[in-house]
Amino acid sequence: MSLTRRSALAMTVAAGAAAAVLAGAFPGASAAPTPTAPTAQQSASYVYRVTGGVARAEALLREGFDVLEERQGGDLFVMGSAEVGARLRAGGHRASVEQVLPPVAWAPPARSGQAAVLDAAAAEETYAGGYRTVNAQYAHLDQVARDHAALATVVDYGDSWRKSRGSGGYDLKAICITKKNAGDCALSTAAPKPRLFVMGQLHAREITTGDVAYRWIDHLTDGYGSDSQVTTLLDTTEVWVVPIANPDGVDIVQRGGSYPYLQRKNANNGNGPSCGTTGGSSQVGIDLNRNTSSGYGTGSSTSPCSETYRGPSANSEVETKALQSLWRSLYRDRRGTGTGAAAPADTTGMVISMHSYSNMVLFPWGFNSAVKSGNDSSLRAIARQMASLAGGWRYGQPGEILYNAGGATDDWVYDDLGVSSFVWEIGNPSGNCSGFTPAYSCQTSLYWPKVKGMLLYAASKTARPYAG
């Protein structure tokens, strides 16, 4: 009952937002795209519980369902509209409604693509109740580098798919934060300090992760000189942050405005131009966390409109290649070939890929949990501590607590370079503050305080993750 009432309220606010658009609240530079009144996400989304064992995951993925990164015993969870529920049952799956996710009300940003000038106005752009747009995140990076020139350097490490095609899009941007001395923040594997790399929104709709990245950047740059833990950290460690690894995808998400489109993938429509462009269960793009050459092909789909479409070939996407090139310019390769080869105890560095949701810490190998990495005991011990700091999250290889998935960036980082790598699935699996688009207040009250401790711990392990 209460769900019905909340939905009705959200719809009323939505109608107001749509009316504002029609009344010309977005005066219009002709270059700006026509703001789209919310449609696809205007009705509630559902989380379906699918019973019948974890072996069902491969079938569900093959059939194109949006299988969430969550598992309870043998039960899996699929997200989608009311129509998806009907399709699950028609396909012979035993599915029940686990949760109804009402839409969130907030005005949509007025523009798409990278702003010509990342000014103060760009820095204020938000959607869904306070989440920063891509332009706001990029304006923030520039502002931080201006305000803290001794600490921060912005690096443009490539172009998004749309930009690479000359059709809007964005630069791909990172920020390097440390107390800068000679050689720091250089694109060189000979840099003097160990490097912690933190990435958000590779999956565009996982909007909690971009917000965590934003706060982490501020925590470091504002805390240097006053917070002794931060000061020591930046004196000894380089911290790299990519707040939005998939800006084209986030552009689609924020275009939903009041009702963020649940776009997971990038915007490459070269393989299935008839897929939807509003983040529905048939959506355009390639899953950037199934596209790498490490374990490419398992736990993913060959169907272009699927949420887990792996792309036409391994490492096919410009966003994938740009990240790989950046990582290779930051980290020396310390690992031999073969899935069991260990990187040595004096290997430095760590990569955290932040995702949402379901309160889990994952580490390689993701493509097959029956295969243990050569650094399994160290990775597992660090994951256990991260999970403990988060208040008791689950941890393990993906296949141990979720399902096998190949082609992920975290597997690639460890596979190619031997660098320790982790995935955090930030967010309650159900109830308060769960879902891809939790109320913005959840970031302040719940997720930032929790993840801050995990990030500081990760930084403390970056110099010698395999030493103990």
Contacts of 343 (CB under 8 A, 6+ apart): 334, 335, 374, 375, 414, 418, 419, 466
Kindly state whether residue 265 participates in binding Zn ion, applying the rule CB under 5 A: no
Contacts of 358 (CB under 8 A, 6+ apart): 68, 69, 70, 425, 427, 428, 429
| Distance separating alpha carbons of residues 337 and 348, to the nearest angstrom | 18
Closest distance to Zn ion from the beta carbon of 355 (Å): 3
Closest distance to Zn ion from the beta carbon of 16 (Å): 32
Contact call for residues 343 and 466 (beta carbons, < 8 A):
yes
Binding segment toward Zn ion, per CB under 5 A, in 38-46, 124-132, 137-145, 349-357: 349-357
| Distance separating alpha carbons of residues 356 and 128, to the nearest angstrom | 16
| Distance separating alpha carbons of residues 454 and 353, to the nearest angstrom | 13
Kindly state whether residue 203 participates in binding Zn ion, applying the rule CB under 5 A: yes
The length of the chain in residues reads: 468
Q: Which residue lies nearer to Zn ion by CB, 178 or 358?
A: 358
Closest distance to Zn ion from the beta carbon of 409 (Å): 10
Binding segment toward Zn ion, per CB under 5 A, in 86-94, 201-209, 293-301, 304-312: 201-209
Binding segment toward Zn ion, per CB under 5 A, in 192-200, 204-212, 219-227, 346-354: 204-212
Q: Which residue lies nearer to Zn ion by CB, 111 or 355?
A: 355
Binding segment toward Zn ion, per CB under 5 A, in 13-21, 167-175, 219-227, 348-356: 348-356
Q: Which residue lies nearer to Zn ion by CB, 163 or 203?
A: 203
Binding segment toward Zn ion, per CB under 5 A, in 39-47, 136-144, 206-214, 302-310: 206-214
> Beta partners for 49?
77, 96
Q: What's the order of all strands across the beta sheet hosting 360-362?
A: 152-159, 171-177, 238-242, 195-199, 350-355, 420-425, 360-362, 394-396
- 56-75 mask for Zn ion (x: CB under 5 A)? --------------------
Q: Which residue lies nearer to Zn ion by CB, 38 or 427?
A: 427
Q: Which residue lies nearer to Zn ion by CB, 109 or 249?
A: 249
Q: Give the position of tokens 């107390």.
A: 179
The secondary structure element, H or E, covering residue 177 is strand 171-177
Q: Which residue lies nearer to Zn ion by CB, 216 or 466?
A: 216
Q: Map the footprint of Zn ion across residues 358-397, applying CB under 5 A.
A: none
| Distance separating alpha carbons of residues 18 and 38, to the nearest angstrom | 7
| Distance separating alpha carbons of residues 35 and 329, to the nearest angstrom | 39
24: left (phi over 0), alpha (psi -120 to 50) or beta: left
The secondary structure element, H or E, covering residue 386 is helix 376-389
Neighbours of 454 (CB within 10 A): 23
200: its two tokens: 């958000």
Options 290, 335, 355, 380; binder of Zn ion; rule CB under 5 A: 355
205: its two tokens: 């709709």
Binding segment toward Zn ion, per CB under 5 A, in 205-213, 248-256, 333-341, 378-386: 205-213
Contact call for residues 134 and 247 (beta carbons, < 8 A):
yes
Binding segment toward Zn ion, per CB under 5 A, in 46-54, 163-171, 350-358, 457-465: 350-358
Closest distance to Zn ion from the beta carbon of 413 (Å): 15
Q: Which residue lies nearer to Zn ion by CB, 57 or 220?
A: 57
Binding segment toward Zn ion, per CB under 5 A, in 106-114, 163-171, 200-208, 454-462: 200-208
Q: Map the footprint of Zn ion across residues 210-249, applying CB under 5 A.
A: none
Q: Which residue lies nearer to Zn ion by CB, 206 or 411?
A: 206
Q: Which residue lies nearer to Zn ion by CB, 365 or 424?
A: 424
How far CA 69 is from CA of 337, 356, 424, in Å, comes to 29, 8, 11
Number of residues that bind Zn ion (CB under 5 A): 3
Q: Give the position of tokens 């403390």.
A: 460
Closest distance to Zn ion from the beta carbon of 267 (Å): 17
Closest distance to Zn ion from the beta carbon of 395 (Å): 16
Q: Which residue lies nearer to Zn ion by CB, 159 or 206?
A: 206
Q: Which residue lies nearer to Zn ion by CB, 93 or 203?
A: 203
- 147-186 mask for Zn ion (x: CB under 5 A)? ----------------------------------------
Rg (C-alpha) for the chain, rounded Å, is 21
Residues of this chain that bind Zn ion (CB under 5 A): 203, 206, 355
